[in-house]
Structure 1
């Protein structure tokens, strides 16, 4: 089977009257085995109590998932460990667990959650479910288990009932948006944008669910996670000139021949590539006039050219805290391209730039090598990107 990259993202809108979400999402990836576990749990009710129950359930699932034993056994333990509401006869927390292995096999276990959506070839695709009960009188909870193999461009969407019940009781959606409405929405979105990322898909589903509420206020926690399988998107980020000038032509050739998105961060680096490849650089002075960061430039064959240390430092801040600017600038463009990539090759020149050794400069201006290592670590640990760090 051809290697697939897994992009997993989550977006949430808490209930309008609460300060704490009652849904919890956790994920864990074993970088050695490639196994990925994602859990979405919905605590009964809302607020702090629901948050505690949901987090407890999700954490149990993640802890159990650290074992190599089949997760179904542990799902039964979690289901039976959760107390049942005496009045409503339902669990105090529901959950969906997605268990993916590097060979492409997937097991999804649901207890009380809306059924997930598998979008395959742009069309919702139904997977048969095997049900397991707990054989306890007057306890109607069941585990619904699905097993299948991922294919390129598959998207798995799983969500809390805040999505499916959005707008419930309104004139237009008396029974809520429902799973079918969500499925039709994502089918239409992917039809218009076949490369729609997991992050954007999750955000747009939550936003669309919120629009179904008559007053545009969330009447429940609205949570959605999306797992997207695709052929890896490759990006090269080059910053800093080579240690020796004799390697300038090699440096430029690595960038020129790279198959994927090409980004250069640093004026000297861009000048070297422009000189070696005989391509002019044009600076866009008026594109981000309100930004405190230096402007971007353009060069034939290069997707993005930015200033170096200042822009990279702000890019790291954006990646670390997952913030977004209300308006675009060089760092937001760079961060967005890195988030949308899967395999990232970071090429770091090791020649010392004397301008950055001035002790009067702000402490935020880190040495390039240290900064690029931190960006690489953030991309690996926060975003599960595959990163190769090369020094030249």
Structure 2
């Protein structure tokens, strides 16, 4: 069952040499009400803006059709008969691979003209039973797609890539016919052997870097790799705000002390009560790593202690534009974002005592109460990063 482990999804891309935009598109969505994940990789014909538009159209359409239709043959028929066809080459303007991960654990993959997905169980390659879907009607009649279904196990990885990976190095002395799928499998398996817990982001990044190296560091095509990794979840607790009733202070401190995972405390009042209840001291840092925020503090056994509402507000702003290419700083908000990205299951404990300071009418209007800011952060984490977020009010 999928609830026994977390599904990490991440990707890395490199544009065709000289292009500012990638002609491959990878998108994924976590459908919270269904506890379902859908991921799509599409490679638009050619490269640059036109290829990106075609791949975006295809991937968006594929994701939406997959979300609405359960039957994989019907999905294939609808998507293929909707895609435009090149008048000269008589082929589709873009390729696609769809991965549909259902809450019960079943994984379904549908491929059209992309390199076949690589499925690793630990470091070993596994090959589920693939079936052919043949289109009987429409402008793509006679075309074939591949589909498979399997039940993943913990430490399984699904590796998707565009042909910019498997064809990298083509024409070189080392790879006259390109890197090819066999070398991709061997390389990925070696990386997993060297680091069994290598993240989806790191694995995708290393595969793209190797393909780029094969091309002599001048990409001859758009290079994309996406990895789906089934593993143990990494929990994180964020406590912000004191309990409504002061008598609940020991309860909050106990929850923080007993939590099995990393812990962040946001708010001076919350930090003071936790330190008091646990009999620990607070050490203040006088170095301002972020001029916009108060510096962090230190409590033994707590991974990070920061100021409250201002820091959370900045976390929200960073998350709005954050992606794998963004370099985080050393400030408190940056550290929180880094820990959020490294975690999978984030539990917020939100104190409901009103902070008198935040009722001052002279403060900026965008200084929102902590509950509103936390909900905005949670929405970004769930929709953009597939994190599982839970709330507890005290």
TM-score normalized by the length of structure 2:
0.89
Q: 1:173: Cα distance to partner?
A: 3.3
* Equivalent residue number for residue 61 of structure 1: 62
How many pairs were matched up? 390
* Equivalent residue number for residue 275 of structure 2: 274
Show CA shifts across 1:35-79 (max 9, x none).
322111111111233223222222221222133431222213323
Q: 1:362: Cα distance to partner?
A: 4.4
Q: Give the distance between the partners of 1:51 and 1:282, measured in 2 at CA.
A: 51
Matches within 5 A, 1:327-366: 327-366=329-368
Greater alpha carbon shift after TM alignment, 350-359 vs 312-321: 350-359
* Equivalent residue number for residue 177 of structure 1: 179
* Equivalent residue number for residue 301 of structure 2: 301
Q: 1:151: Cα distance to partner?
A: 0.8
Q: Give the distance between the partners of 1:107 and 1:45, measured in 2 at CA.
A: 28
Greater alpha carbon shift after TM alignment, 54-63 vs 136-145: 136-145
Matches within 5 A, 1:241-260: 241-260=242-261
* 1:26 aligns to 2:64 (yes or no): no
Q: Give the distance between the partners of 1:359 and 1:252, measured in 2 at CA.
A: 32
Matched residue of 2:389: which SS?
strand
Q: Give the distance between the partners of 1:282 and 1:180, measured in 2 at CA.
A: 54
Matched residue of 1:302: which SS?
coil
Q: Give the distance between the partners of 1:166 and 1:317, measured in 2 at CA.
A: 38
Q: Give the distance between the partners of 1:304 and 1:290, measured in 2 at CA.
A: 15
Q: Give the distance between the partners of 2:246 and 2:254, measured in 1 at CA.
A: 14
Matched residue of 2:224: which SS?
strand
Matched residue of 2:34: which SS?
coil
Q: 1:191: Cα distance to partner?
A: 3.0
Matched residue of 1:54: which SS?
helix
RMSD, aligned CA: 2.6
* Equivalent residue number for residue 317 of structure 1: 317
Matched residue of 2:109: which SS?
strand
TM-score normalized by the length of structure 1:
0.89
Matched residue of 1:66: which SS?
helix
Greater alpha carbon shift after TM alignment, 117-126 vs 292-301: 292-301
Q: Give the distance between the partners of 1:202 and 1:306, measured in 2 at CA.
A: 33
Give ranges in structure 1 of 5+ residues lacking alignment: none
8 A Cα contact 1:91 1:141, kept in partner:
no
Matches within 5 A, 1:190-229: 190-214=192-216, 216-229=217-230
Show CA shifts across 1:2-42 (max 9, x none).
62322222332222333332222232333222232211111
Show CA shifts across 1:317-368 (max 9, x none).
2222115335433222211221222221101112222333444444553322
Matched residue of 1:176: which SS?
coil
* Equivalent residue number for residue 120 of structure 2: 119
Matched residue of 2:46: which SS?
coil
Give ranges in structure 2 of 5+ residues lacking alignment: none
